[in-house]
Amino acid sequence: RIGLRLRRSRPSPAPLRRAAEVLRRLDELDAAIWSANALSAAVEAGLLDQLDGPASPDEIARRTGLPPAIVLALVDVLAGFGFARREGGAVSAAPGFAPFTGPEGARAFRAALRAPLLQAEAFRRDARAGAVTLDGWRHEDPEVIEAQGALTSLWAGRAIPRLRFLPGLVRRLEARGAALLDVGAGAAGLSITLCRHYPALSATALEPAPGPAEVGARHVRAAGLEDRIEIRRQRVEHLDERAAYDLAFLPQMFLPDAVIEPAAAALFRALKPGGWLLAATLAR
């Protein structure tokens, strides 16, 4: 719920017995935190855009305006993760990382870094203020909402080829009158991505929080999809439609536990016979 992916199949580690072991764990955390932020700095500085072809660190420094020493340090980080490679004094993207050097790929990579970093910082601030809650997703910071929306768009785009494995779903989404229910829509990344891919599809994007709803409406207008995507300020458990949607998306981790059962009941009523519910889950 707070972003930790714990490997539950592993046995719990034995309690630490020496202070040196604690310090070693803190060193590991320190390396992870700085690595994530150094990758984020490389993205924010435009370094990824310079890796689409071989270039020397001095050339990259001139193009980006970064000091050469900083370029070298950031390249070290990228190379350490296997994202970049050095050959004959030139730097370029590793073959697997090449898709992330173009505008769309760099945007997706940036979002995948920014979303957890920004949300983790908000979590830390809330903890210091005594305001931590596990009761759903409550961010109102536009930067967090934008980053999460871009990450959702990336996830949705990658999921589209897999939809053909769900019997009958693609045929439904391609048919006239196809309808999507996007629960907790946020910046409307899922609705926009699917409506762009399926020209006959329309979407109802439920987003009760004012900040995310405003960002989502702006993105829908920018995409030119106002006639196909409705941003609705409504909670999913209050949904009263019946047999209206071919596909519903439910992000379990964004909803308070208490509303999951009534939300599921409302969603099954709202689905057309044979419709599909896709649920993104992090907990039982």
Average pLDDT over residues 127-132: 86
pLDDT for position 8: 53
Average pLDDT over residues 21-47: 89
Of 243, 238, 259, 250, nearest in space to 277 by CA:
250
Average pLDDT over residues 120-128: 85
pLDDT per residue over 100-118, tens digit each?
A: 887 777 877 887 788 788 8
pLDDT > 60? residue 152 = yes
Please tell me which residue, 246 or 12, carries the higher pLDDT value: 246
Mean pLDDT over each residue of the chain, to the nearest integer: 87
Q: What is the band of 284 on the pLDDT scale with cuts at 50, 70, 90? A: low
Residue pair 194/155 in contact (Cβ under 8 Å)? The answer is no
pLDDT > 80? residue 144 = no
- 61-83 burial, b at 16+ Cβ within 10 Å, e below that, comes to beebebeeebbeebbebbeeeeb
Counting runs of H as helices and runs of E as strands, what totals does the chain give?
Answer: 9, 7
pLDDT per residue over 42-92, tens digit each?
A: 888 888 888 888 999 999 999 999 999 999 999 988 999 999 998 888 999
Q: Is the pTM of this model over 0.95?
A: no
Please tell me which residue, 84 or 134, carries the higher pLDDT value: 84
Please tell me which residue, 238 or 2, carries the higher pLDDT value: 238
pLDDT for position 122: 82
Of 190, 205, 197, 144, nearest in space to 170 by CA:
197
